[in-house]
Structure 1
Amino acid sequence: MSFNLHSIVISNRGDIQEEFGKIGVDKAGSAIMAPKAMHRLIKIYDLAPRQANIIKQEMLSKGGDAAVARGTVDASVEKTDVLMMGTEKQYRAVIKKLRMQPFGLAALADRLEEALNNLAGRKPRELACRDKKLVLGERTLVMGILNVTPDSFSDGGRFYDVESAVAQARRMEAEGADIIDLGGESTRPGHTPVGPEEELNRVLPVLKALVQEISLPISVDTTKALVARRALEAGAHIINDQWALRADPEMSSVVAEFGVPLVIMHNQQGTEYRDLMGDMICYFRESIEMAERAGIARENIIIDPGIGFGKTVEQNLEALRRLRELDCLGLPVLLGTSRKSVIGKTLDLPPDQRVEGTGATVSIGIAGGADIVRVHDVKEMVRVARMTDAIVRR
């Protein structure tokens, strides 16, 4: 007798429910078995040995496991990271037990439950952009880049005056852009910083024309609270902060006052990391807490892994490869890779020849959970996004 079998790859509840449906499993059985099919690896940092030992024993008691540093059992190490391994069902059973344990493990149980719930997937929802709406999760949204600067790495000086900037925005709208991202200060390596007044002189005339002539939401790319305030007063819909509220202490209160969506990007000086994705997620948690303390609603926050910022080429590629790990935060992801140096250095190509490399990163990013892609080449990347959506989105 010949047997046919193969391995099933699943990433979410929808995948496993589809497989159950093919077999003919009843709904009650599907609900019971789905948590058993979802295997998760969750890494926890800097636990005391007594905390780690309890977690390991609880996971083992439920049929899972937890990897800890040598020396944890006899407490000969001061701290250890823990890699938990188990099904969703096993995690939920352990979470119940951890809530009854001392040493701060009840708070850890809450964080674990939050992560598990977030890993179940983000449902499509509306993002309110003042008088405009964006639907997140049904298809990938395309953000068109509009730099009104003389020195941006790819298109500096091309759209420096109002007329050419508006014409480019109209072109991107016609090509399928969902958002226009307007920036008045270059962020390329070695750029010359500009003061808020100069940035406003570049941005405001274009912004005022765009809100009259373009039907799309306008995002303003700035790290300065004064620029954000003046832009929002002029009708901007979204603030895109490349320093995640850390460059200007007033930024969070301005965004909260206007109640608009906020993009927070991972960024840092230098490229030293203890653990790239772990450090990135810790950074986001800190900025999210800053935002929420200021009154910014969590549902208005979008995270950006900051490809090209504070990372080597290899670290940028690793972040793209591991993008799905951001899912534990449960927030929409914006990905900006367009024409960046990681593509140029990988393919040895100048900025104006990086469209295919950009397409590869956009496609991989969407497969890794990106909800919005920020691009220069709107027509081409809309096509890449639609094709990738057809493969990976339900």
Structure 2
Amino acid sequence: MKFTYNQKELLSGQATILCGIINVTPDSFSDGGQFFQVDKAVARAKELVADGATMLDIGGESTRPGSTYVEIEEEINRVVPAIKAIKEVVDVPISIDTWKSQVAKAAIEAGADIVNDITGFLGDPEMAQVVSQTQAGAILMFNPVIVRPNHPSSKIFPTFGGQGVFTDQEMAAFETMDIVELMKAYFVKSLALADQYGIAKERIMLDPGIGFGLTKKENLTLINEIDVIRQMGYFTFLGVSRKRFIMNILNEVGFETDFATPEGSINRDLGSAFLTSLAAIKGVEVLRVHTIKPHLMATAIADSVRLSRQMDDVNFKAYK
């Protein structure tokens, strides 16, 4: 498989791509405010790429539980200067993390290569058309908050549009549907829109939406059955870094996960990196992460196992 954007391409079956996160927001759940100013965002971009990131994801609106809607003009004012400045200093593809078509349009004009839409084209009815008028790639995420707004795990999130996309009958069926089947049903609608606007299959990655309106069991099930996306014929984009269910797993076996403590800060990224390793073994093409080094170590080991037939052989010497 391949993924294309702006006449460039990424190939499946290669080393796992680490996509570094840059939140130009004051309230992201784990790094809010740290990279809000353009100069700080640029410095962070250079650091991430130097550490091994080969893609960057820039967002101007927090979508964490309890976050609030950011007006379109404000979001544009946050991301456009950062994208322009970052494009001047690093040469890696940049995705814009937004579900709003006007923000996506402005970001693409500023130099963004890929639109990372957490609603999979279903939140804003104009998004698919905006992407279709460019050569940008698209990441389409399964968003349970849209299809199960009354679920306890969805109620703590802000709304992401999408009203009226599914019928009342479909919405009723979604409430009890198996989570993998629900994801597939959601992607049917997303991909139909992409096809309607002539967006080629090769320009699309699919994201299972880990952490959005899902229970612990559902998060783990989607990760365990991530191969479903490849079976559909698409690149897989996965974001598990610092998700709450990881902290829950670590807490259950007695590990510190308080972000404010040095031990907790290390553990949150180690726990995330273990999942990155599992994802890389499964052949997930792109991992969206907050820090690079622990995930680079994870993918170096996992990719070596997955691509063992392609590895150069080495004969080891005896221990001294």
* TM norm structure 1: 0.66
Q: How many residues align?
A: 270
Q: Which runs of 4+ in 1 moved over 4 A?
A: none
Matches within 5 A, 1:117-196: 123=1, 125=2, 127-130=3-6, 132-196=8-72
Decide whether the 8 Å contact of 2:13 with 2:283 is kept in 1: no
From 357, 369, 380, the equivalent of 2:271 is 357
TM superposition shift of 1:146 = 0.4
Tell me which residue corresponds to 1:204.
80
Within 1, Cα distance between the matches of 2:56 and 2:176? 33
Matches within 5 A, 1:1-394: 123=1, 125=2, 127-130=3-6, 132-269=8-145, 270=151, 272-348=175-251, 349-351=257-259, 352=265, 353-393=267-307, 394=309
Within 1, Cα distance between the matches of 2:7 and 2:207? 24
Within 2, Cα distance between the matches of 1:314 and 1:308? 11
TM superposition shift of 1:134 = 3.2
Larger Rg: 1
TM superposition shift of 1:350 = 3.1
Letter in 1 for 2:224: R
Within 1, Cα distance between the matches of 2:97 and 2:125? 17
TM superposition shift of 1:367 = 2.3
Q: Secondary structure at the match of 1:264?
A: strand
**CA RMSD, aligned part only?**
1.4
Within 2, Cα distance between the matches of 1:140 and 1:172? 15
Q: Secondary structure at the match of 1:180?
A: strand
> Structure 1 residues 262-271 or 177-186, which shifts more?
262-271
Decide whether the 8 Å contact of 2:61 with 2:70 is kept in 1: yes
Task: Structure 1: state its 5+ residue gaps.
Answer: 1-122
TM superposition shift of 1:128 = 3.2
Within 2, Cα distance between the matches of 1:198 and 1:137? 39
TM superposition shift of 1:389 = 0.6
Within 1, Cα distance between the matches of 2:127 and 2:92? 24
Decide whether the 8 Å contact of 1:323 with 1:369 is kept in 2: no
Within 1, Cα distance between the matches of 2:229 and 2:11? 20
Cα deviation 1:108-145 (Å, max 9, x = unaligned): xxxxxxxxxxxxxxx4x3x3332654333211111000
Higher relative contact order (CA 8 A, sep 6+): 2
Letter in 2 for 1:227: V
TM superposition shift of 1:210 = 0.9
TM superposition shift of 1:273 = 4.0
Decide whether the 8 Å contact of 1:132 with 1:217 is kept in 2: no
Q: Secondary structure at the match of 1:258?
A: coil
Within 1, Cα distance between the matches of 2:185 and 2:248? 28
Within 1, Cα distance between the matches of 2:272 and 2:59? 20
> Structure 1 residues 317-326 or 254-263, which shifts more?
317-326
TM superposition shift of 1:243 = 0.5
Decide whether the 8 Å contact of 1:273 with 1:279 is kept in 2: no
Letter in 2 for 1:322: E
Within 1, Cα distance between the matches of 2:94 and 2:8? 10
TM superposition shift of 1:368 = 2.6
> Structure 1 residues 362-371 or 149-158, which shifts more?
362-371
Within 2, Cα distance between the matches of 1:306 and 1:288? 15
Decide whether the 8 Å contact of 2:7 with 2:135 is kept in 1: no
Tell me which residue corresponds to 1:20.
none
The 1:324–1:128 alpha-carbon spacing in structure 2 relative to 1, beyond 3 Å, is closer
Within 2, Cα distance between the matches of 1:212 and 1:327? 34
* TM norm structure 2: 0.81
